[in-house]
Structure 1
Amino acid sequence: MARGDRRAQGLARVAVVVRAGAAPLWWAGVFAAGVGVLVPGLTGRRIGVLAGAALFIVAAALVAYRRRRRYTGLTRGAARAGKHDVLQDRAVTVRNWRRGHRWWLLLAFAAALGSSFVVPAAGGMLLAGTGVGLWLKAAWLGRRERAEEALLWVRVDWLDARGGRPAGKAVKAYRGTGIAAGDAAPGGARRRAAALV
């Protein structure tokens, strides 16, 4: 590992970054599809919904499985986080990702709505499928984290360099912590409070 990587760094959870876009894409897609069903479009509602269902499945599968080899390679090379590294809160990671991608999300939503005049509901279902794919990918990461009993983190400055992609070219390696570190559970969901005994 390079000497610069040994310094204390701000770290964000990989799974949290992955699933940060899932909810806005899902809800934007559901809303766009719901509005799209009200528009007859050029193809008609039945064809639009059938095409949308196919797009939903394809998008979910592609997003869920895309770059898994890259994630696996980065996971194998993960170094232990240092005691001076700063673990970013889940809410901060989610907020930063969504703020950095707000215009992209808005344009995607507008495109999904506009496509309803041609193929009703299809664009919205494509967006929703992308959101589901991100949830599935985060769940896959969570299973890896549980199996290895280590949470995966990525340097915040590397995320900023490439638009928030946790497996982008700027990311050279992950860092790992114990399974109880941070405020997010394996897979990036909110950590549930321990039940009182």
Structure 2
Amino acid sequence: MAQLVGTKCVICQEKITNELDSRYCRDCGKPRHTACVRLPDRPTDELCYECGVPVGTLDKPVEPKESPDFLQYGTFPVSRTCPKCRGEKYKRVKPLGWIAFKWDRVCKDCATRYTPPTPWWAALTFVGVGLLLAGFGGISVLLGMLKGDPLRLPAIACEGFLGIIGCLSIYHGLRSLFNPGDV
């Protein structure tokens, strides 16, 4: 791959001085600062799905568009097919969230971005791990309280926290199983 430091950011036209806060776009291959990226309001074939830069431009500065909040935070409609036109043809794009079992999709017919539902195996994994954590945390808290040792309070708090994380995991898994988000 070509040297990134020393090139100009395609969005702000500033010189890239550090590889840690910049990269080549995975979709269009143009150099850009991470902070300059603004996803397009409505992805099209003329705009890069990954960074929002017009595909045909490299030399002139591009004014970034203000994107709505759902593009900044990564909450898109959840559906197996396009929620707008019910189209089944799509292009895969990198999800913005931390946890994703499948890549987001952009409909090839109407350019609507949406997220596929959590797979059933992942939902069952959340439930299974949650049961283990909640069971361990709950039993440990009960046994710790029965002993009545005040020096064990920090350990009881940590075990209780594990139990709460387990309950949240169970909730997320069951919600994903029974309400996968189909519109």
Q: Same fold (TM over 0.5)?
A: no
Q: Which has the higher contact order (CA 8 A, sep 6+)?
A: 1
TM (norm. structure 1) is: 0.29
Say which one has the larger Rg: 2
Higher helix share: 1
